[in-house]
Amino acid sequence: MPSNNSTGDDKPAASPAARSGLMSHWLVRLALWSGGLAVAGAISLLVIIAVALSVAYPNLPDISDLQDYRPKLPLRVYSSEGTLIGEFGEERRNLMPIGDIPKVMKDAVLAAEDARFFEHGGVDYVGVVRAGLANVGRAKSQGASTITMQVARNVYLSAEKTYTRKIYEILLTFKLEHLLSKDQILEIYMNQIFLGNRSYGFAAASEAYYGKPIRDISIAEAAMLAGLPKAPSAYNPIVNPKRARARQMYIIDRMQENGFITAAQAEAARNENLKVRAGPDASRLHAEYVAETVRQLMYAQYGESTYTRGLNVFTTLNATEQAAAYKALRRGIMDYERRQFYRGPEKFIDLPTDPKEADDAIDEVLVEHPDNGDVMSAVVLQASPKGISAVRQNGEAVEITGEGLKPAQSGLSEKAAPNIKIRRGAVIRVAKTPKNTWEITQLPEVEGAFVALDPRTGAVRAMVGGFDWDKNKFNHVTQAWRQPGSSFKPFIYSAALEKGFTPATVINDAPLFFDAGVTGGQPWEPKNYDGTFDGPMSIRRGLAKSKNMISIRILQAVGPQNAQEWVSRFGFDTEKHPAYLTMALGAGSVTPMQMATAYSVFANGGYRVSPYLITKVTDQKGKVLVETQPGQLDDSVRAIDARNAFVMNSLLQEVTRSGTAARASGALKRSDIYGKTGTTNDSMDAWFAGYQQSVAAVVWIGYDTPRKLGDRETGGGLSLPVWINFMETALKGVPVSEPSAPEGVMNVGGEWYYNEFGPGAGIASLGLEDPAAAAAANGMSPAAQTMIGAPPHTPPTATPGVAPQPAAPPADEKKRILDLFRN
């Protein structure tokens, strides 16, 4: 019987077991649905990735060129012996095949960047997991970016950090691993990676940081270089030695952990004291003007690819002679500078009393005033007439006393003007003396040039275009058009030999005067340098003593137009040597290179040589692209007769024996040297041009904006010492060799004559009783005869007594300089 509390719709209550089964059912269904959705999502993701890959993969860059890897390689310029003298390009890089890279360097890189490189397929999944765990645990890790991924990123992709770029990086990684071998990928990486200090690749970095080839690298050095790819600036051993050292220790540990080195090797590497370059290499060869000339020549030939295709240019330069030329010219200019009035400190700063702040101020100002070779900058800490205390940028203390104060005595006087007074905070220049003490000095305002040629071939053996490349990039050897002064006289004398003059011809060193009616301008009364006149003397003595009156009388007899044509045989531009009597005093315009070429004609027996600088150009693999062979001395390049050159040798030898350059033979202690001093009007240019049969060299010193060098400054006092210092190196071990007499000359009484102009047949006197009659008797032309008794009636273009200014350089001056060295 139903209960009174029941209804007809009542159902029995579910048991706990039933409720549990129902819940399990729904959980199963939820799991199935979730699994289905996950599978569907994964399939959808794979489809999306597949579609993305199908779209992205064809757009990946073509990497087939990496099979023949050719990175941007700079232009390198070498001396004849293979000494690097210049490098041009955005990247300093040495391409080195993987087989030539030492194992220790490869091991250090693998330990630092990708120890499982030879095991994974481009993406190191083990490394990814390890990196993730390390990041969670905040432990050190080598990272998850493999070497292959870095190659893909560095060669083809930008530095932006986006998911798209990361996808392309992974795709490129797989493509690289498929196309290239592991060794090829590692070779690209080790040549391509940027390592700071403008260095790309480990071979270049070894040279940049250690100054040594990578084949000589130690474990400790390799470990420090291997730390650079992670952050080249942060781990730069020059800028941040402490951080670089910490990174190096970590990599040494990694090398040991991976079995690349033993525990003993690791310990030795940790204790090795590395010698890292602290700045520019003091022993480097200074040939910046040569390197720049080569750069211009190469750019004219190859355009922009000059800086990327890895050209190697070998020059005619002799490294030993180039170093000697550089030192000799700088020494000569600094010796002159010591005789000049002190111009004062380069700058003044207020030095704080706090030592740390003072150090910062000193560092800051000396960055603006860097050392110039052996002419170094310093900041004065204390100064008095008895001594100067200063400090250099590297913290070195400088104490100057006694003789070292003399060049700047005026700046230490109590009455010195504020702009020249040496006081605390003054930026000054200092230099070491031969006694290893300090002296105060100053950067010179005067400039100079030096060039040496092989007169037999025209090969440039040394060229210094100025005191310092960083100070003045104008190449005075090839670009400076200056008046040669008395150093031009030998070419007038050479012309005279062809007109019947002999070394024994007597000419009167007596005053000359040309009035306005003759000159068409102001009266001209030329003088000898010393203001005296010595009367009658032979041509030999006249050239040795550089007598101006004798040179003018010779030019009168030869004829200015005849002389103008004659000097063109030596390579001079006739338009720069107007046919006026001032040509006898060197009033035209020449470059030091022209002078060296011209004197080479005397040195080699009468042949005109073309100066050349490049012997060979090769590509990065050593394939010869261009090779220059020196020209032959034959009749096709004969400029003057052999006997003319021989007699001129005799005259120029007298200059170095008893004339204005007599100190040359005494200093060098040899007889086979020849040359001529030159000092222009008002001592604005000082020259010496001279030679031995194996080398012709020219020195010029003067101001860029012409001004007086000083009343007592001459070519013999300024430029000749530079020439002698160079020749001491250039002629070391060279046997004494004097030219033999050619056909057509004879020696009578110790003097040389042309056969047809022997004693009694030549001009006996000029400028004496009746020189015109003497000229006529010796077969001189009527035009030349008129030049003996009176000056030419064609007015000069410049004020008499003042040498004409050099003609403006032609519009194609740059092309002229480039053509100068093309053979």
Query: Of 769, 758, 800, 718, which is closest to residue 340 (Cα–Cα)?
Result: 718
Confirm if 95 and 201 have CB atoms less than 8 A apart: yes
List phi, psi (to 5°) of 745. Answer: -125, 155
Residues 742-753 as b or e (16 or more Cβ within 10 Å = b): eeebeeeeebbb
Confirm if 254 and 116 have CB atoms less than 8 A apart: no
Confirm if 630 and 623 have CB atoms less than 8 A apart: no
Confirm if 723 and 697 have CB atoms less than 8 A apart: yes
Instruction: State both tokens at 226.
Output: 């291997």
Which own/partner contact pairs does 244-253 have at CB distance under 8 Å and 24+ positions apart?
A: 248/220, 248/223, 248/224, 250/140, 251/108, 251/111, 251/112, 251/223, 251/224, 251/226, 251/227, 252/219, 252/220, 252/223
| CA angle, 530 then 532 then 536, to 5° | 125
Kindly list the distances between the CA atom of residue 726 and the CA atoms of 290, 426, 452, 459, in Å, as whole numbers in the listed order: 17, 36, 9, 17
* Pairing label, strands 535-538, 745-748: unpaired
Query: Of 703, 718, 717, 710, which is closest to residue 445 (Cα–Cα)?
Result: 703
Confirm if 596 and 698 have CB atoms less than 8 A apart: yes
β-strand partners of 700? 449, 687
Q: Give the whole-angstrom CA distance, residue 252 versus residue 331.
A: 48
Which own/partner contact pairs does 568-577 have at CB distance under 8 Å and 24+ positions apart?
A: 569/601, 569/608, 569/639, 569/640, 570/491, 570/597, 570/598, 570/601, 570/608, 570/639, 570/640, 571/597, 571/598, 571/601, 571/608, 572/491, 572/598, 575/807, 576/481, 576/806, 576/807
Radius of gyration of the chain (CA): 39
List phi, psi (to 5°) of 325. Answer: -65, -45
Give the CA diameter of the chain.
180
Confirm if 784 and 557 have CB atoms less than 8 A apart: yes
Confirm if 687 and 719 have CB atoms less than 8 A apart: yes
Q: Give the whole-angstrom CA distance, residue 54 versus residue 57.
A: 6
Q: Which helix (H) or strand (E) holds 516?
A: helix 516-519
Task: Say which residues have a Cβ less than 8 Å from residue 405's Cβ, sequence separation at least 6.
Answer: 385, 387, 388, 412, 439, 440
Catalytic site includes residue 737? no
Active-site position among 145, 486, 600, 683: 486
Confirm if 662 and 656 have CB atoms less than 8 A apart: yes
Q: Go through the chain and tell me how many residues it has.
A: 823
Active-site position among 79, 91, 113, 654: 113
Q: Read out DSSP for 43-68?
A: HHHHHHHHHHHHHHGGGSPP-GGGGG
Q: Give the whole-angstrom CA distance, residue 203 versus residue 97.
A: 10
Question: Letter for the amino acid at 438?
Answer: W
Instruction: State both tokens at 436.
Output: 């290893």
Q: Give the whole-angstrom CA distance, residue 320 versus residue 285.
A: 9
Catalytic site includes residue 113? yes
β-strand partners of 93? 200
Supply the residues annotated as catalytic: 113, 486
